[in-house]
Structure 1
Amino acid sequence: MPSPLIFSLIALILVINIPPFISSPKTPVKGFEARLIHRDSPESPRHNPKATHADLIKSARQRTLARQNYFKRLMSSKPWQKLISAPIDLELGDYIMRFQIGTPKVDTYAFFDNASHTQCPDPNGICKYTIAYGDGRSSEGVLATETITLEHDGSSGSASLPNMIFGCRHSNVDPRSGYNPPGIVGLSREPSSLVGQISYPHVSYCTSANNEGNHSSVKFGSVAVITENTTQTPLLTGPIDFYSVSLEGISVDGTMLDIPKSVFNMTPEGEGGVFMDTGTDHTQLVLPAFYAVTNKIEDILSDFKSLPDVDGRFPVCYNDTNFRLDSTEIVFQFTGLEFPLSANNTWDQNSLGYHCLAILPAFRGHSVLGMYQQRNVNVGYDFNNNIVSLKYSDNNSA
């Protein structure tokens, strides 16, 4: 087995398909919880105390564009092509999940990503891989099993999961960043992900709007159950195992916008659609929906003068002392669920302090509900009944 030092630096957790000769017995626990930390929090291993607000916005913009390209490649590639045409960009993701690996336990971390999965390079199940990408990045390593320990400071306790399969990347090269990137905790709906291996039918997470403190977490098992029917919408299935949902329309201040429902639909080939993603920061809407929302917002706020965003990220910004965050209400009309965005999840600030609409245009044909709009929301997945729940936490409401 690789040394604990290697695990702590470059572990790529649970994103490689399980070869047929490896079994993974599970410890029967009712549920457990793990801590999530925002990548820009002072508690994060990725925290850069010298980064300005403008630096963070620029970094977020780069991640947004890279994430759009990542999904586009996944949706446009055949399964056998995904290994080389849709590499995992290890700089993606807003939240980091702490965990421990091995016996004795060694602390480490990885990005929390519910869209990560890879195909096993060798159909015969050889536990070794080497990947090279056209932009100079490369990765190589082996499959292995080890005990993974997840714990949190809260009341849900911890869990020690033996014989968990993961890919250990011994060598990662990214000439753009100049360092070995950390790993990814894959929570896709693939059998090889953390969700697939532990086989619990319920998973939920809730992230705080404040990047500091220990209020963000992910739960598994019985502690993750959200029972209120009024917060539920169907979890769709399709050719791509994303967390896809059915968005039927968007209203602003009670007025349904003139957006054809077809712009939100996924094609039989897996193109388009709407899905929830923990690796995307701000919500992105396909262009017909985005322009319908921004035109309506600017019409409602015609008394205020919209300004260009100096950071070049947010298309609609305002800088007025009389501006109120609750001046408009945007509601996503999912099948069976009206999900209003809270005021704090609707507006963000640029580096000059302007209030900017925290929704971005999507140029790749699909819409994504990002983590900024999921803040202070208990997001729950029920895999037995294919249901997604969106419920604002007690300390924040729409």
Structure 2
Amino acid sequence: MAYDLFHVVIIIFLVFLPLHFSPIKANTDVSFSINLIRKTSPKLFPQRLRGLSAMSGTPQSPTGAYLGHYLMELSIGTPPFKIYGIADTGSDLTWTQCVPCNNCYKQLNPMFDPQKSSSYSNISCDSNLCHELDTGVCSPQKQCNYTYAYASGSITQGVLAQETVTLTSTTGTNILLKGIMFGCGHNNTGGFNDHEMGIIGLGGGPVSLISQIGSSFGGKMFSQCLVPFHTDVSVYSKMSFGKGSEVSGEGVVSTPLVAKEDKTPYFVTLLGISVGNNYLHYNGSSETVEKGNMFLDSGTPPTILPTQFYDPVVAEMKNQVAMEPIVDDPDLGFQLCYQTKKNLHGPILTAHFEGADVTLEPIQTFISPKDGVFCLGFTNTSSDVGIYGNFAQSNYLIGFDLEAQVVSFKPRDCTKNTES
């Protein structure tokens, strides 16, 4: 599926919405955390969890914010090899650049070399696993090749394989997850920066990391706490998985996940947005809204609204900000920007999801693409379906519970790196 998302220039940003979505299951009530820097038979993916008997504390691995994305650290292979991939709830396939890489973008860290890992194994095109990803095709060597494309124009091509993923608990105990399916990318192009070694697919589809490891940790559920844009790269937040990652307590609001044919995106229903005290209905004069008209995507920085809804939101923002906006500067990448030496004091927005009102302070709605300039981190699309991007998701503990089919929000200073 492809959406007409980006007719806006944002050099450092990518929209990680795959053009191909697809389907994994791994049983213990164990949760783990990852610090933050898209129906499969269980027979295909046997029990993968190792080393739990000696484990105490919460398993985790670091990830932090960098240029509008959230880089999540995982270790793959034997011995463990660290990769830093974009944490992306809008796609399913987890992949990293692999040696040999004849047509790849530049990355600072060494690339993963399958020949140096004793636990690496290519997936045969005769295996049922090859068909779990829609784009899996057979090579002359009987390997399962894949092509995975994103709406941003980025493409990864390579071989589907299985590896051991290692997570580390807070007590230093290693947790080994064996037989995790991933893409070993040998031909990767697009607007990636040199810190990004691939993408960690956290969507709801069968081949996502969430679906693969869910049964190992008590269910398909996870929570994230994203630090705001421009947070120092040394500040980490946490992502937690499995039973125990549920978001609960005072101040929590929840909205239903909406099931659609495409299992990857986390669809929710946005009823409207309030700018200050002025409520704007999603469908303008219409009394009803379509269920599942937005989805939450940690791999897309701005919030993207259908043009007929975006225009009145921007108009109302202009009415309530006591400054004249910058006119005609396409290099900023956003349509509504202001020049000020101090932080912009704009109105509070409230996203009215079905059953959940989520308030957004200026730090979550206005971003600074360059010194002295603040821009509304929203843009528009001709599609009827919008995206709730990672700018707006910051400073909230957000729980995705695929078992209960709800998304929960709890206000949180994510820079404090506290437990959920």
Is the TM-score greater than 0.5? yes
Query: For the residues of structure 2 that align with 1:203 and 1:334, how far apart are their CA atoms?
Result: 20
Q: Distance in 2 between the 1:245 and 1:192 partners?
A: 21
The one-letter code matched in structure 2 to 1:265 is E
SS in 2 for 1:257: strand
Equivalent-residue separation in structure 1 for 2:334 and 2:362 (angstroms): 16
1:84-123 deviations in whole A, cap 9, x for unaligned? xxxxxxxxxx121111122222222222112223425259
The aligned residue for residue 115 of structure 1 is: 90
2:356 corresponds to which of 332, 337, 341: 337
Could you say if the C-alpha distance between residues 236 and 158 of structure 1 is closer, same or farther in structure 2, counting changes exceeding 3 Å? Answer: farther
Match of 1:39 among 29, 42, 66: 66
Q: Does the C-alpha gap of structure 1 residues 32 and 127 become closer, same or farther in structure 2, counting only changes over 3 Å?
A: farther
Give 1:220 shift. 0.7
2:396/2:414 contact within 8 Å kept: no
Q: Distance in 2 between matches of 1:234 and 1:291?
A: 27
- For 1:222-301, list aligned pairs within 5 A: 222-228=243-249, 230-241=252-263, 242-260=265-283, 265=290, 273-301=293-321
1:230 Cα deviation after fit: 3.8
Of residues 84, 90, 98, the one that matches 2:73 is: 98
Q: Whole-Å Cα distance in 2 between the matches of residues 251 and 202 of structure 1?
A: 30
Letter of the aligned partner of 1:142 in structure 2? L
Equivalenced residue count is 319
Code of the aligned partner of 2:260 = G
Q: 2:165 aligns with which of 117, 129, 148?
A: 148
2:128 is aligned to none
Instruction: String of CA shifts for 1:351-380, please: whole Å, max 9, x gaps.
Output: 252222221122333211111111121111
SS at match of 2:392: helix
Distance 1:140 1:291, change over 3 A: same
Describe the shift of the 1:316–1:137 C-alpha distance in structure 2 as closer, same or farther (beyond 3 A). Answer: closer
Partner of 1:203: 222
AA of the residue aligned to 2:283 = P
CA distance in 2, matches of 1:115, 1:136: 14
Residue identity over aligned pairs, in percent, reads 23
Deviations 1:233-266 (A, max 9, x none): 1111111121111111111111212442779625
Q: CA deviation at 1:173?
A: 4.7
Does structure 1 conserve the Cα–Cα contact (< 8 Å) formed by 2:49 and 2:178? no
Seen in structure 2, the aligned counterparts of structure 1 residues 320 and 38 have a Cα distance that, compared at 3 Å, is closer
Specify whether residues 290 and 157 from structure 1 end up closer, same or farther in structure 2 by C-alpha distance, changes over 3 A only: farther
TM-fit CA distance, 1:393 = 0.9
Q: Is the 8 A contact 2:235 2:415 kept in 1?
A: no
SS in 1 for 2:319: helix
Q: TM-score, normalised by structure 2?
A: 0.66
CA deviation vs aligned residue, 1:292-328 (integer Å, no higher than 9, x gap): 1111111223x4212226324121122256x763431
1:171 aligns with 2:186: yes
Q: How far did 1:132 drift?
A: 9.3
SS of the counterpart of 1:197? helix
The TM-score with structure 1 as length reference comes to 0.69
Structure 2 spans left out of the alignment, 5+ residues: 1-20, 25-39, 93-132
Residue type of the alignment partner of 1:139:
Q
Partner of 1:83: none
For the pair 1:128 / 2:144, whether they are aligned, the reply is: yes
CA pair 158-296 structure 1, distance change in 2 beyond 3 A: farther
CA RMSD of aligned residues (A): 3.6
Structure 1 equivalent of residue 374 of structure 2: 355
Unaligned runs of at least 5 residues, structure 1: 1-14, 41-59, 61-93, 267-271
Aligned equivalents of 1:299, 1:114: Cα separation in 2: 34
